[in-house]
């Protein structure tokens, strides 16, 4: 019996892992409570408008815009901006600081669907005792090759993060 080349095994595992990575991504926003604080990670143009729409549905919610590029957000009631963090890991640290400052025990995280797994992994590693609700924005309307590219990049970054390199 012939041995399967190690490169084919590696490719198979990589592709299978990528399929699992996409499959385990939360498909939609879970149920939100009326007083849930929403943390939106900047980056993709879909994130902040989606988070603002979710905030409109909440009676007592607060929106925290986290990350570089957030300084362009118009000041609105119930919106606070943190614009110092420049990576997903730094976003997680900024969220941890806010959660600890306000003694929050449940938060909502808004980011694009391909970014959600890595963002949740990093945030949960910093806040293991906090209930974190995923609220992904969709990449609908983006050309398929661009979506595949973004998923592949985030999958690779996720793998790197799993090896302990958080600033990827």
Query: How does pLDDT run across 26-38, given as a tens digit for each residue?
Result: 989 988 999 999 9
Give the whole-angstrom CA distance, residue 99 versus residue 97: 6
The closest alpha carbon to 139, from 24, 22, 58, 14, belongs to 22
Query: How does pLDDT run across 63-79, given as a tens digit for each residue?
Result: 999 998 766 666 677 88
Strands (E), 28-116: 37-41, 62-66, 79-82, 106-112
Residues of the chain with pLDDT > 90: what percent?
A: 68
């Amino acid at each position: 019996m012939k041995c399967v080349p190690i490169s084919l095994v590696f490719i198979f595992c990589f592709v299978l892992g990528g399929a699992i990575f996409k499959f385990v991504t939360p498909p939609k926003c879970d149920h939100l409570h009326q007083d849930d604080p929403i943390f939106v990670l900047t980056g993709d143009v879909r994130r902040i408008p989606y988070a603002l729409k979710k905030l409109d549905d909440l009676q007592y919610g607060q929106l925290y815009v986290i990350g570089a590029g957030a300084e362009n957000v118009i000041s609105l009631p119930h919106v606070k901006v943190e614009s110092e963090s420049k990576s997903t890991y730094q976003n997680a640290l900024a969220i941890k600081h806010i959660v600890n400052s306000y003694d929050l025990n449940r938060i909502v995280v808004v980011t694009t669907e391909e970014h959600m797994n890595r963002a949740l992994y990093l945030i949960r590693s910093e806040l293991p005792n906090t209930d974190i609700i995923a609220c992904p924005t969709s990449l609908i309307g983006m050309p398929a090759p661009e979506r595949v590219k973004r998923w592949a990049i985030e999958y690779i970054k996720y793998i790197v993060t799993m090896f302990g390199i958080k600033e990827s």
